Amino acid sequence: MKITDALLGEHAMLYALFTDIRRQIDEDRSIEQLQVAVEILENQLWTHAQMEENHLFPALEPHLGQMGPLRVMKSEHQEIDRLLGAAKAETNPEQLKSVVDELIMLAYSHFRKEEMVLFGMTRQVLSEDEQENLGNIWANERGVTIDGAGCPSQAAG
């Protein structure tokens, strides 16, 4: 499996978390409950961003350079981190909602840029093998089996 397919799957999980945290805000959950949701979101966003920064971006750097899209993506990761920190420090419910709103809007637009531009560039500049190798690193780090043999009795033929 290619790294971009793995990262797209993680985006889908994160979109579900964004929807859930928005629902909790709409339901006027307590600040303690919202903080728990923010911590879960922080962990998942961090794990995802680390995969990109430690594996995908270094593989793209020889092709794209350190400036341009990679620099934009890294600086958006930092801005997302800053907003997560601000959300965790917030004790006023209305302020917390507004920070979380800003955070989710930025994360949405960041993910869209990756999906529309960066992942397309990845498929253009990395070979199939390089994309598969990065996919294997992802599977290894996440503990996912991607080459299961299936059931022999169900094999076609």
Q: What are the residues binding Fe ion (CB under 5 A)?
A: 52, 114
CB of 133 to Fe ion, least distance (A): 19
By the 8 A CB rule, do 116 and 9 touch? no
H-type alpha helices, the chain: 3-26, 31-51, 57-64, 68-89, 93-113, 119-125, 128-142
Nearer of residues 10 and 90 to Fe ion, judged by Cβ:
10
Question: Nearer to Fe ion by C-beta: 30 or 47?
Answer: 47
Gap between the Cα atoms of 96 and 87, Å rounded: 6
CB of 90 to Fe ion, least distance (A): 23
| Cβ at position 151, least distance to Fe ion in Å | 34
**Least separation in angstroms between CB 157 and Fe ion:** 40
In the bound state with Fe ion, the residue whose beta carbon lies nearer, of 42 and 114, is 114
* Nearest one of 145, 108, 137, 121 to 18, comparing CA atoms: 108
Measure Cα distances from 28 to 23, 52, 69 in Å. Answer: 9, 34, 37
Q: How far is the CB of 29 from Fe ion (least distance, A)?
A: 27
Distance in Å from the first CA to the final CA of the chain = 25
Q: Which sign, positive or negative, has the C-alpha torsion 69, 75, 80, 81? A: positive
Smaller CB distance to Fe ion: residue 29 or 113?
113
Of 14 and 34, CB closest to Fe ion: 14
